[in-house]
Chain A
């Protein structure tokens, strides 16, 4: 690539922004007794370092599961163990059993931030750069611009924790888009073993690969591919879970920790359907738990079914990326026990389609960052969030000139509006509507942010603003769900000339 130096510059900008943001406060700083996610990560290092593998997921006198017990899959635990060894080398106090609880110091903060930066540098950033280089049919300059926008996505930078797994998932997508299915599925299995939330993306992966096998013919090549894939998946899982397979109780305990069904439909304020619906009707209190579970399962399943079926029937790498978005979005909106940070799992695939539908992707990524506003304010990250969001917006505007790309064609809605026009000939105002929706959405977001920051909520409704934020974002997300599904469903009609993977 003749423009390698611009790519290096882009990566360096991404790293600089990450590090400057990390100089700010962190989750739960100076807030005993529970602190925050920062303490959770540190506590995991303490647990994994001092206890034998068998006790990691069990409650004991040394491992109080109520205090940030380990509830991520084994790979996260191994990563913590690795960091713990480094921590031990620098300062053993950081991970001393019991006594290190709530340990906070400038040096330790620096250490924790460095672990994140290094993980980012090793896994996430190379994946982004390679992905952008592998994009077909766009110029080198556009590839670099694309990388810049993805690396500047504020949501990820601001949350800054636990996004190691996204790197793995990205490698998965990368492998698959480059036609190396085996590598892709291996990377994706690692991602799942890093964070169970990655299951949001599992269905599109599964459908895409299955569809590909069908296409090759189940009796010939397709079958071979299927067997190979199955082997890879099983092998990688076995490898990650090896220490826990010795006893049945071990495995079950880990699973129980990973999927805490008894925590309730939602916690805090999340921009999904259930939380927004809660404003009008307190479903969480009215319905019994198992009905909530069934309800959320059914709605999730129904909402993602069409896209998945479509993907099995017509597997294409473009369809695959869009299905990743819509599936993750349905999970976020409808499933059980969603956390507001889970929106990042939707944002990642949206970043991947940034070059195809720049206008809508930018819009979505802005909304997704906005939806985490209450969380960010709690961590005193107002200033960096505003700044990085603006930087991201400027980067997108200048590199894609998004405001000039709002025609039906560029929104990929051409075939949809043509088929609607068969019944409603006057249906010509779609792109105009979308532009106005964008303006309205941005203005509400800005206003709500200003109100949240400057005004005190009325005494009767202390959560007024955060509920409003969730509600507005939820409306936006619903709109996006419909939009992405329309793209997926109407894709093939125009997509006959689209290159399909053989």
Chain B
């Protein structure tokens, strides 16, 4: 009996939460899965049946391998378990193969890998200072944080319905953040380097890591006013950091550097990089991610419509391709100037810079780092080239850590999360999943808003009337887009309207959250400066 008690963890709320969400994930197995399912099956097949030299050249399927080498090795290891489930899924030419055993294997592999995520959340909870310990369990910051992370709506639908392996990647990221909080900088840097070689989207937040480690780890002391003491620079620390990053990169990319491709008379590295960074795609995805460019495109559309009405524009000169018609393609703006990849890169850099400066000149410990990291993620989401709507998770998850610490952060977090999660709705467009996404979204939103309100009930209300109004507006928007619109006559003529509305409406909220967070970071560092002086 005692063994049973320990095994099931009587009163251990954390394992109950983790087990509960794992069981929910198991229930989601028979739901719809997107083409990403086939993508990962294809990668299993490529890594299993071809030699390493072929991995980044193979192009039988249109879903070529476009993740860094560690992810390819990960698929390679998975494939050796997969062969006991169904040998057929490991055939490169078996396109769109999805037997029930394949489905079970792939789904379970995601669920199993989430163990890492659960562990990372546990470590993160330890870093949260428990000063505000409420008398009840459900009001403790640790409890709220673990629910916000473990039961995160976005992660649930992107990983376990849509199908991707974000869970364990975010696990690595949270773990490295937790290590930085625990002053185990080398481990943190190592984990992040590994993460970068699993999925290169995390490059977005690399500036925050780089600057933080350089400023707060390599310089061992500050002047009394908080500015940098140049003499405290530690060469040993820099070299060891560099060594760690170099070794990890060598392990990942080294084999491809060594492999020689005869027909091109060069090593394979350029090929790998061309797969990882496909700039041939358009500015926006078929469905516009709710960022600055969505607003920009929408403005362009509005201007062109107005221009046509007032006869400023010649209808014959307007390119016909509408951006939301469903194809990833280059898009010509009609009124506003077209955007080039270089322009987005510059915008992103400009957006990131102030936060990096804050981190360098006003280091405020790991919390400051976390805010900078969130800002980096959000800024690149706002201005990046061909951003996916899923990338918003990159900002939401680290932001969860901040939300339980301060009322101001909590309010920004709630706006960001609610709109960001709502913008994921178009990922699931099949009828059976409609109730699931609505129920889960309600579940997460109601919980996050109410619990954070309870946590900060002594401070001023989290939302002003405008924010409340905006968030409540998501409800009517959903009703219009998915319940009313399909029955109107516009469905055939303008099928893209719901997507456009969703994307523009969410873009407003996310831009607002980004702006508010930026302002609060800048003000905080300014206040810090005056206080010190």
Binding site for B on A (CB under 8 A): 5-6, 8-9, 12-13, 15-17, 19-21, 23-24, 106-107, 110, 117, 141, 383-384, 387-388, 390-391, 393-395, 397-398, 401, 403-404, 406, 435, 439
Contact = CB atoms under 8 A, between A and B. Distances in A.
Interface residues of B, number: 34
A398 B16 contact: yes
A5 B447 contact: yes
Interface of B: 1, 4-5, 8-13, 16, 19-20, 23-24, 26-31, 136, 138, 431-432, 435-436, 439-440, 442-443, 446-447, 450-451
A171 B23 CA distance: 31
Contact of B436 (A20, A384, A403, A404): A20
11 contacts: A6-B138, A19-B435, A23-B30, A387-B27, A394-B23, A397-B9, A397-B16, A398-B12, A401-B10, A403-B1, A403-B4
A109 B13 CA distance: 37
Contacts of B442: 12
B10 A398 contact: yes
Contacts of A404: 5, 10
Contacts of A107: 431
Contacts, number: 87
Contacts of A9: 443, 446-447
A8 B20 contact: no
A398 B432 CA distance: 31
Contact of B1 (A12, A19, A401, A435): A435
Contacts of B136: 141
B23 A391 contact: yes
A23 B428 CA distance: 15
Contacts of B23: 387-388, 390-391, 394
Contacts of A397: 8-10, 16
A154 B475 CA distance: 31
A446 to B, nearest CB: 12
B10 A20 contact: no
Contact of B24 (A16, A110, A406): A16
A398 B446 contact: no
A408 to B, nearest CB: 16
Given A398-B10, A404-B10, A17 B24 contact: yes
Contact of A12 (B8, B19, B28, B439): B439
In this complex, the member of B5, B16, B31, B439 whose beta carbon has the largest number of chain A beta carbons within 10 angstroms is B439
Given A401-B10, A403-B5, A383 B26 contact: yes
Contacts of A19: 435-436, 439
Nearest to A23: B30
A23 B31 contact: yes
Given A16-B436, A107-B431, A398-B12, 6 more contacts: A12-B443, A15-B439, A19-B435, A23-B432, A395-B20, A404-B5
A383 B446 CA distance: 29
In this complex, the member of A107, A383, A406 whose beta carbon has the largest number of chain B beta carbons within 10 angstroms is A383
Given A19-B435, A387-B23, A394 B447 contact: no
A410 to B, nearest CB: 14
B439 A394 contact: no
B13 A110 contact: no
Contacts of A17: 24, 27
B306 to A, nearest CB: 40
Contacts of A16: 24, 436, 439-440, 443
